[in-house]
Structure 1
């Protein structure tokens, strides 16, 4: 006799199996999503790597590197050379950041003139070149959904008194603020330690300029590495200028490598910054202390250690 299968029983059996499978796969999916979400919340602050920092893990492609950063829990990214990249690459970068829900950090505005002369001179030709690049930066910012652009005024003009040079920089930054403010963009001036000929070297200089420009489009980029070299007393000096600081960059000293490779107590510094309620970007503006994949993993581990302040 041929066996007959009860259609209703078969339907219920299949339905039960389907339900169980759906529950199982749903659980896997939810677990996977949960793990990814957990990874994205691993760090307390928005640390921003740059291209090349993880190329041994991710390869040379820009998008693969951004994806790797996101997988490691980094929620921001910065690219000093963005303005010099092709439009196609700018669009690819912007799309990758949007896909990974990452914040775009700074890119550099380079007016193209020799920094041994510059905005400190007050010369019209340099102001015009600077403003022209600021206008270009607005269009680039739209592509990658950026908010911040790094600016530096250039070298001392030895033939002018310091106060006149400061006034010239303030005038130029007022003009630039008129370009950025309608777009809710912010240029962040960076005091540097690369050599003593640079005009802008201290955080209190930046504070004075910001107060004089008096615009939300003109703030300070506080690079901890440079400021440790130029003035030290990091937390006190950040506190004095805090209302004008809108962007942070990181690098240990000496060596300008990841936290833990030099003299700065980054766990305490990060704790103080976090306690101020800072929700902006902390750019990883440094090199890797060790080469290869091992060096890249050591860098990631160093950030986990420095970030463990809660």
Structure 2
């Protein structure tokens, strides 16, 4: 019997839905993480939350949220379709994907999502968050902000930080797939994993991703900030300046809120994806 595979359209729908839900639920942690990674004075997460609530209310914690929800929906759709396709191509005759091949499939999916979804949405989100902390913000919302950024910097402006984005999904998918296959090898053949187990595997994948890719995430945020054009020539120059001027520990700034988000998002997105795929009959027998 051939292994079950995901149908591309159903994989896209399930991934996009899971991405949108996950982005909205976890957005306040993304807001705090992004704010803490900007240059200048270091602000503890609780200080950022307290000052944001005092100045802008709960709505302030969702500055730039629409950009991330839309982008995350597209990103997750592209990510799962791409990963499933790469995974099917690289799988052995039993449908198993080794850790190195899973890493390669994840890297391929990361490149696809970085180009088509992540970098543009993350850049716009980051600039909206950076702008929101100004006394007089210049962007009136997602559409106005996007139009203003493109008008001022061109398409190149929304593709800053492209290089550090692609490897992140590779780590996440490799960890998730490896753990999932390990657990499935110890359950009855053909038996679906409980949602609690899927959530746990996804959460662990999020935890591993945070600690192994944090420097990339910090560089990405800096490259996408409002003053990046005048501060950094490219991602490597950005990393060099952070290291020499602020120290190596600066690369792990924002770890706590990012950890909270990716542990939750890993559990949420993989659980919702698996459930929707089953409900809509998205796997070939």
Q: How would you bin the TM-score normalised by the shorter chain?
A: under 0.3
**Structure having the larger proportion of residues in helix:** 2
Compute the TM-score of the two structures, normalised by the length of structure 1.
Answer: 0.23
Compute the TM-score of the two structures, normalised by the length of structure 2.
Answer: 0.25
Who wins on radius of gyration, i.e. which is larger? 1
Higher relative contact order (CA 8 A, sep 6+): 2
